[in-house]
């Protein structure tokens, strides 16, 4: 039985921490951002969703979400590439300006342009939308110029950090499981990594993001009255989806896999499967049979993803989980980011009851372990015990606050 009094106390402490510590300004910047944690000395693109999610819960904070979008758009390179991170000078004093903005990997993880569109739906600022649309068009061109080197109609993973899946078994055999570094210098994301025989890899999650970005560009173009561009983006997105099915879907396994440069499916049962849902690649009617099979055979399977504390970052019966890292591991642990992203798809596809069960388990384990470690990055999917990775982690905190509200405990 959940200790409602303790939940309320923790909830209040977490909300105070968010509003008075996590929402703050970088050095020499005047506009507040939603920071990740002490362990992460800046803002990563994949955490843009933190501020968007919080703004949906607390509408007075929409400006913080808008600031997060602008943080990356305003630092876009002339060739169209967006940074994956921006460092906070308060946490990296003395770091030269050229190293404050990172261009060594992608690490988008949730469609950035979809999030930007959601911010527009909150602020109704046409100038903001036009700005983001123009940046998105340039970014799409960058991907098509530098990340479609094998000509298969899908974008490619060059390095492990492109996906944000640190220490995942899906990166096995890659020359650069982290980033592409030469003599200690990180290369920009348009530079091919050393030859390993398998890279460039067609990554399922990255292409789901790419698909959703093109859908978002189509919707933006429609709002902005650009009819021809609206139709072109919609058609382009449909082609990306078609290629994902043709190249990455294994009908026998009912699973989408990464594909190496030789056309071989890399059969790791990774949490990448959730991206087909969170980016709405799978249509509720058109792809009904595929959806039902994936959910039944994998997501709701206790031997794979439906663990005591869902969802692990790799199916627990995948051989790659053996000998997994002790922390910050996307090859085993249930990540706060995975649980937070469930908000983007489980209600939409009709699995609200399962989502609330996941939220209840998250609330349960963090209430139980709160006196040992405060709101960290990940938990063991079997025992619910947290690792020591990144205390006061934004996604964990947001999950706790949202769960407490949704389940009526505050």
The ranges assigned to domains in the chain are 4-406
Fold of 4-406: Glycosyltransferase (1.50.10)
- Residue 40 has φ and ψ, to the nearest 5°, of -110, 110
The predicted pLDDT at position 219 comes to: 98
Q: Residue range 168-189: average pLDDT?
A: 95
- Residue 53 has φ and ψ, to the nearest 5°, of -60, -45
Q: Residue range 94-105: average pLDDT?
A: 92
Does residue 97 carry a pLDDT above 90? no
C-beta of residue 201 within 8 angstroms of C-beta of residue 261: yes
Pairing of strands 185-186, 181-182: antiparallel
The predicted pLDDT at position 273 comes to: 98
Q: Residue range 309-326: average pLDDT?
A: 97
How many C-beta atoms surround the C-beta of residue 104 within 10 A? 23
C-beta of residue 250 within 8 angstroms of C-beta of residue 256: yes
How much is the pTM?
0.97
Q: Is 175 exposed, middle or buried (0-12, 13-18, 19+ CB in 10 A)?
A: middle
Residue whose token pair is 């946490």: 91
Q: Which token pair is 371?
A: 């006196």
How far apart, in Å, are the Cα atoms of 225 and each of 126, 136, 267, 285, 392? 11, 16, 43, 29, 43
Pairing of strands 156-157, 181-182: unpaired
Q: Residue range 114-122: average pLDDT?
A: 98
Peptide bond into 335 cis (omega under 30): no
Task: Name which residue leads in pLDDT, 115 or 183.
Answer: 115
Which one, of 10, 49, 36, lies nearest residue 366 by Cα?
10
| pLDDT tens-digit series, residues 196-249 | 999 999 999 999 999 999 999 999 999 999 999 999 999 999 999 999 999 999
Q: Which token pair is 147?
A: 């990340």
What is the number of alpha carbons within 13 Å of residue 208 lying toward its C-beta? 25
Does residue 1 carry a pLDDT above 90? no
The DSSP result for 375-395, as a single string, is S-SEE-TTT--B-SS-SS-HH
C-beta of residue 151 within 8 angstroms of C-beta of residue 202: no
C-beta of residue 275 within 8 angstroms of C-beta of residue 281: yes
Rounded percentage of the chain residues whose pLDDT exceeds 90: 96
How far apart, in Å, are the Cα atoms of 143 and each of 105, 139, 205, 226, 294? 12, 6, 15, 22, 29
| pLDDT tens-digit series, residues 249-285 | 999 999 999 999 999 999 999 999 999 999 999 999 9
C-beta of residue 399 within 8 angstroms of C-beta of residue 339: yes
How many C-beta atoms surround the C-beta of residue 323 within 10 A? 8
b/e code 334-363 from CB counts within 10 Å (16+ = b): bbbbbbbbbbbbbeebebeebbeebbebbb
| pLDDT tens-digit series, residues 48-74 | 999 999 999 999 999 999 999 999 999
The predicted pLDDT at position 38 comes to: 87
Pairing of strands 249-250, 181-182: unpaired
Residue whose token pair is 């969802």: 311
């Amino acid at each position: 039985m959940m200790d409602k009094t303790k939940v309320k106390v923790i909830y209040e402490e977490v909300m105070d921490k968010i509003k008075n510590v996590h929402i703050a300004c970088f050095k020499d910047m005047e506009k507040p951002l939603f920071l990740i944690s002490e362990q992460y000395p800046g803002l990563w693109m994949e955490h843009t969703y933190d501020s968007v999610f919080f703004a949906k819960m607390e509408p007075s904070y929409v400006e913080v979400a808008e600031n997060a979008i602008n943080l990356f758009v305003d630092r876009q390179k002339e060739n169209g590439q967006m940074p994956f991170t921006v460092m906070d000078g308060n946490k990296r004093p003395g770091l030269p300006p050229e190293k404050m903005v990172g261009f060594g990997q992608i690490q988008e993880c949730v469609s950035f342009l979809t999030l930007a569109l959601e911010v527009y739906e909150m602020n109704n600022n046409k100038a903001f939308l036009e700005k983001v649309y123009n940046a998105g068009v340039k970014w799409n061109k960058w991907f098509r110029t530098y990340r479609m080197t094998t000509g298969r109609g899908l974008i490619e993973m060059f390095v492990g950090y492109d996906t944000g899946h640190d220490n995942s078994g899906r990166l096995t055999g890659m020359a650069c499981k982290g980033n592409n570094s030469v003599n200690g210098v990180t290369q920009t994301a348009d530079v091919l990594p050393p030859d390993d025989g398998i890279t460039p890899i067609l990554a399922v999650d990255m292409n789901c993001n790419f698909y959703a970005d093109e859908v978002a560009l189509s919707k933006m173009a429609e709002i902005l009255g650009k009819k021809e561009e609206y139709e072109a983006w919609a058609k382009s997105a449909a082609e990306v989806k078609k290629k994902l099915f043709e190249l990455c879907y294994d009908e026998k396994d009912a699973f989408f896999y990464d594909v190496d440069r030789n056309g071989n499916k890399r059969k790791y049962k990774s949490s990448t499967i959730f991206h087909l849902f969170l980016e709405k690649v799978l249509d509720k009617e058109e792809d009904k049979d595929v959806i039902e099979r994936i959910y039944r055979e994998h997501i709701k399977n206790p031997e794979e993803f439906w663990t005591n504390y869902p969802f692990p970052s790799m199916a627990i019966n995948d051989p790659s989980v053996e000998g997994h890292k002790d922390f910050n591991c996307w090859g085993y642990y249930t990540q706060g980011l995975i649980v937070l992203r469930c908000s983007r798809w489980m209600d939409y596809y009709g699995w609200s009851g399962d989502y609330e069960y996941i939220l209840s388990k998250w609330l349960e384990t963090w209430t139980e372990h709160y006196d040992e470690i405060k709101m960290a990055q990940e938990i063991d999917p079997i025992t619910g015990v947290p690792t020591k990775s990144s205390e006061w982690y934004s996604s964990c905190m947001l999950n706790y606050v949202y769960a407490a509200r949704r389940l009526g405990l505050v």
